[in-house]
Chain A
């Protein structure tokens, strides 16, 4: 159980692979030497505290930011993505927690946003609205979401439902890798369970999943591999069978000097550091 065994040992079957990737904002280093690999039907969880660099990692994979060190490979081919569009075209779909949807737009318009089907020719080229509504309803139903009215603004859905719609959307558009940024962070237990179920459903359909989370409990429910980040560097990378939930929880907290985790640990493990425990 050494904490730095790398997951990115150059397997040719990896859909997405990062090898020693780094990223600086100005002269602040946000990421350094991070490696991970996602294969079909595999869920890789990225865990870390606030500011550990989780969102930065995701933005590199999704094409919002360029990495400035190490290698980023898709299907074994080294890439530098210029835009989210390029990532999408290569089969990487990202679901952001706060910017996943346009709240005032109907569910069906959100579902197809950026990839709208059209019908007709010349000046009569137009959105295929009937097919868009029907397809949205069907794709959601396949994921187990039963919306009676796909015309309602997506802002009227609950947080968990919105995440689930975004996941269903990625699956429908043929994503091979789904990247999820803290999909369960703002959700209650019930809603988080709904979202994790869709993550598992996507995995079972053969997609690769990168799941970013604060929550080792959620990660351990669905994860096949756990990559721990601490202040921009890798603090560990473990296969599921190598690590138990309580060990994962302790590792996440072990290197952290944040009180929040100290409290958490003190509550769940009386033998842990007694900082601030009652």
Chain B
């Protein structure tokens, strides 16, 4: 009788080792895709592989990647955030307008913006856990409300659709150094967002794979009832994940503000789908429970390479969206296949 489970175990170990390894490393598929895209544009586009070209690509990837990483964690936890795109703009607007209207120091606005943005994330998570409505609906509501608030409040307070310039205010230079400066690494000129992006990937990977919270995120997305039954604080995990997205939206928002010094209140709409697409291309399952931060980072890198590669190749930029749509479909098909193999049981 002891032989029965052992024999079964051997049987399952023999079943699809490739799918098993892929399912353990969700980002592998995206990495293959990234190499293919890199080779393609290296051949098709002049200047793509030069330091300036790569710097531009990495910058584009980092602005998406900063958001794609927490969005990926949220998706692994089984939820969406459609408000992530406009939340970035809200964060920048709050920071700019508070500094301009209330104080003389930009850091005050930065701090208030952090609190407000985290509160928006908390609102998303709290409403979700209280109402048990689908996160698609709740964050669609937040998305629409924020879109309206961004435009309405900006116009009400400042009279126009963009904020006033705050470039001459105290603290602007130091805030720009933190959120929107260039740094030189080994002779290369790189935007500081790349550092933020890599730091977020490292932190998110650590949390996912090496902490109790990470275990809980996978379990909440993979089977929330089972997780709750063994004592995982599922609701707290969800609220925390939404606040993680908000934290990243704050970083992105401050970057937006301090690199241009004025903010357009209509920006950000549509970006939420790009973050989700990057996470999905990176191996996150739409249904939750599976994915990685590194995968989302690679997904963002594919976005960066494609958007800038098309420019360097001097093509019609409209092909960008077509290309990304195709990538997304391929990635989802691959994910579905992996999941089927991994879940195939008895």
Partners in one complex: yes
Write the residues of chain A forming the contact surface with B, with a CB cutoff of 8 angstroms.
62, 64, 83-85, 88, 94, 96, 99-106, 109, 112-116, 118, 125-127, 129, 144-149, 151-153, 155-162, 164, 190-191, 193-194, 197
> How far is B234's CA from A83's CA once the two chains are assembled, in angstroms?
12
Question: Among the listed stretches B34-42, B80-88, B183-191, B337-345, which one makes contact with chain A, having 4 or more residues with CB under 8 Å of it?
Answer: B337-345
> How far is B23's CA from A153's CA once the two chains are assembled, in angstroms?
9
Tell me the nearest residue of chain B to A100, going by C-beta: B226
18 A–B contact pairs at CB < 8 A?
A62-B229, A84-B228, A84-B230, A94-B229, A99-B223, A99-B229, A100-B226, A101-B226, A103-B345, A104-B222, A105-B215, A145-B5, A148-B10, A153-B23, A158-B346, A160-B346, A161-B8, A193-B1
Write the residues of chain B forming the contact surface with A, with a CB cutoff of 8 angstroms.
1-2, 4-6, 8-10, 12-13, 15, 20, 23-24, 206, 210-212, 214-216, 218-219, 222-223, 225-232, 285, 289-290, 339, 342-346
Which residues from B are CB-within-8-Å of A153? 20, 23, 342-343
> How far is B222's CA from A101's CA once the two chains are assembled, in angstroms?
9
Instruction: Check if A104 sits within 8 Å of B218, measured CB to CB.
Output: yes
Residue from B1, B2, B231 in contact with A88 in the complex, judged by beta carbons closer than 8 Å:
B231
Query: Given A85-B231, A103-B345, is A147 in contact with B9 using a C-beta cutoff of 8 Å?
Result: yes
Instruction: Check if B232 sits within 8 Å of A155, measured CB to CB.
Output: no
Instruction: Check if A156 sits within 8 Å of B222, measured CB to CB.
Output: no
Which residues from B are CB-within-8-Å of A190? 4
Residue from A104, A113, A125 in contact with B290 in the complex, judged by beta carbons closer than 8 Å:
A104
Instruction: Check if B342 sits within 8 Å of A194, measured CB to CB.
Output: no
Instruction: Check if B223 sits within 8 Å of A103, measured CB to CB.
Output: yes
> How far is B215's CA from A96's CA once the two chains are assembled, in angstroms?
20
Residue from A84, A105, A127 in contact with B219 in the complex, judged by beta carbons closer than 8 Å:
A105
Closest 10 CB pairs of A and B: A114-B230, A102-B222, A158-B346, A85-B231, A114-B231, A146-B6, A99-B225, A126-B210, A102-B223, A99-B226
Tell me the nearest residue of chain A to B6, going by C-beta: A146
Instruction: Check if B20 sits within 8 Å of A152, measured CB to CB.
Output: yes
Which residues from A are CB-within-8-Å of B218? 102, 104-105, 109
Instruction: Check if B4 sits within 8 Å of A194, measured CB to CB.
Output: yes
